[in-house]
A and B are shown apart, each in its own frame.
Chain A
Amino acid sequence: VGAPRPQRSPRREGPGLLGPCCGAAPLRTVEPLEYYRRFLKENCRPDGRELGEFRATTVNIGSITTADGSALVKLGNTTVICGVKAELAAPALDSANKGYIVPNVELPSLCSTRFRSGPPGEEAQAASQFIADVIENSQIIAKEDLCIADGKLAWVLYCDIICLDYDGNILDASTFALLAALKNVQLPSVTINEETGLSEVNLKQKNPLVIRKHPVATSFAIFDDTLLIVDPTAEEEDLATGTVTVVTDEDDRLCSVHKPGGSPLTGAKLQDCISRAITRHKEVKKLIDKVIKSIKPK
């Protein structure tokens, strides 16, 4: 049931659909890998990007008024929204001076046909664990800052990251959304009444969170065991033989090098990834600063 293979490749015209000229089905549907290889040979991709170029990144902060902090990030077509809700709880017995940050990444069936409704699948759970690791490794917020009274009261930040549109590179978008949402969080001040021992929340007086580090994730897809392309779309992720995600912070320190299997890479290639990640960090930081500045204080 396969279409006949096109016999000639029109090198003069450059890579493109071979549909009408040979009477065969478009190359992109029948042989997607071959279609991509022709673009990669010319050092570009079907959507016109260079191999090291990111898609257009846009961020919108504070759109959810019922949440304590929120951010919507679009990386090309990939749309991720993060909402942060702060609640009060007693700290754990073994770390009486620390609050909690609980991230959760959801990939609902809304965002793509590959996800079914029901309990979270492997990709959502792996993404949640990745975000939890990024929070832990980068020390984006010191958990001690979330403590109100030692052993009695502390903040719990529930960070819900929901993907609205899945077009690849979910980890980068989620990390960015989390960072932007946490920068937007305003926590009400809480005092403990000495006589009654109850907590009193003052909603009128709000303080922003102290963000210590700004981790930014950069993902790469490995093609044919050798080529590395930045910011893969969903189609490219399906064709790739492996992925690498590097998380850096503003001091150029590595918070995470996440390569869950896939084609083997040399140390040199990993170093290239890290250099690109460091450049990307500067671009993202500039974007976040611009957005934060543009928000009028409430």
Chain B
Amino acid sequence: MEVAEEAAGCSLRPFSCEQGLLSRPDGSATFVQGDTSVLAGLYGPAEVKGSRESPDGATVEVLLRPKVGLPGVAERSREQLLRRTFEAVLLGSLHPRTSITVVLQVLSDAGSLLACCLNAACMGLLDAGLPLSSLFCGVTCALDPHGDIILDPTARQEQEAHAVLTFAIDSAQRKVLATTTRGSCSAEEAGLPAPRPISGRGGVAAATRAGSGL
């Protein structure tokens, strides 16, 4: 298991990752951030059923299993976000008429769950040896009532924050692949005004810095 050291300028919980732990899937990885952990299993490129076959590229399917209960509408919405993120980085045109299935199992949820899913899936994609145009990472920022940005928040910090933003950032150009927010915040707090230098405040800037650390 690889344990990472803390990079300068960002305070994430200790995170670690292990690849190749399952024998059946083509690729597997587990990603642990603090107390949150997600297990990813990948199958692909594999056979795809007739109607879902695409002659242009691979069909990506994502299944997100919560820790307890059956997957509901919230899981479907996250599956859509994850699927479109993977489709953006996977070189699917190299494997037309195939399917790539990503199964994510939540092992424990202590905050920053979506970011952990993104990271586990990225490690799993690497383990499966699938062609990617870039790597990506998931980072969650919480804006607490004082206006400070907390990276990789715990469940308690997420609840107390007035906004929680999750970003998926690609490794090639440090651009935002996916974003989803909870709660409301002003545009400045989200850190989107562009001319700010990378050392400036703001959710996106902080997430990009954390992304470089990951």
What residues of chain A have their CB less than 8 Å away from a CB belonging to chain B?
Answer: 122-123, 125-126, 128-130, 132-133, 136-139, 241-242, 249, 252-268, 270-271, 274
Within 8 A of A (CB), among B56-114: 73-74, 76-77, 79-88
- Contact status A261-B82, CB under 8 Å: yes
Of A123, A241, A257, which contacts B165 at CB under 8 A?
A257
| Closest B residue by C-beta to A215 | B184
- Contact status A254-B76, CB under 8 Å: no
Measured between beta carbons, the chain B residues less than 8 angstroms from A256 are 180-181
- Contact status A260-B178, CB under 8 Å: yes
- Contact status B192-A271, CB under 8 Å: yes
Q: A249-B184, A259-B178, A266-B194 are in contact. List 9 more A-B contacts (CB 8 A).
A: A122-B76, A125-B73, A125-B76, A125-B77, A254-B187, A264-B175, A265-B176, A267-B176, A267-B205
- Contact status A259-B176, CB under 8 Å: yes
Within 8 A of A (CB), among B134-193: 165, 168-170, 173, 175-187, 190-193
**Interface presence of B125 (CB below 8 A):** no
- Contact status B192-A261, CB under 8 Å: no
How many angstroms from the CA of A253 to the CA of B185 in the assembled complex? 6
Of B73, B88, B175, B193, which contacts A261 at CB under 8 A?
B88
- Contact status B181-A261, CB under 8 Å: no
- Contact status B80-A267, CB under 8 Å: no
Taking the closest CB of chain B, its distance from the CB of A133, in whole angstroms, is 7
Measured between beta carbons, the chain A residues less than 8 angstroms from B84 are 242, 260-262
**Interface presence of B204 (CB below 8 A):** yes
| Closest B residue by C-beta to A121 | B76
What is the interface size of chain B, counting residues whose CB is below 8 A from a CB of the partner?
A: 40
- Contact status A133-B182, CB under 8 Å: yes
Measured between beta carbons, the chain A residues less than 8 angstroms from B191 are 267
Taking the closest CB of chain B, its distance from the CB of A95, in whole angstroms, is 14
- Contact status A264-B77, CB under 8 Å: no
Q: A266-B176, A268-B194 are in contact. Are A130 and B181 (CB under 8 A)?
A: no
How many angstroms from the CA of A82 to the CA of B178 in the assembled complex? 29
Measured between beta carbons, the chain B residues less than 8 angstroms from A257 are 165, 179-181, 190
How many angstroms from the CA of A249 to the CA of B185 in the assembled complex? 10
| Closest B residue by C-beta to A274 | B187
Of A122, A263, A266, which contacts B88 at CB under 8 A?
A263
Of B73, B83, B85, which contacts A128 at CB under 8 A?
B73
How many angstroms from the CA of A119 to the CA of B168 in the assembled complex? 30
Q: A129-B77, A264-B170 are in contact. Are A258 and B176 (CB under 8 A)?
A: no
- Contact status A254-B181, CB under 8 Å: yes
- Contact status A266-B186, CB under 8 Å: no
| Closest B residue by C-beta to A275 | B187
- Contact status B186-A138, CB under 8 Å: no
How many angstroms from the CA of A271 to the CA of B194 in the assembled complex? 7
Of A132, A138, A242, which contacts B184 at CB under 8 A?
A138
Q: A259-B176, A261-B82 are in contact. Are A126 and B186 (CB under 8 A)?
A: no
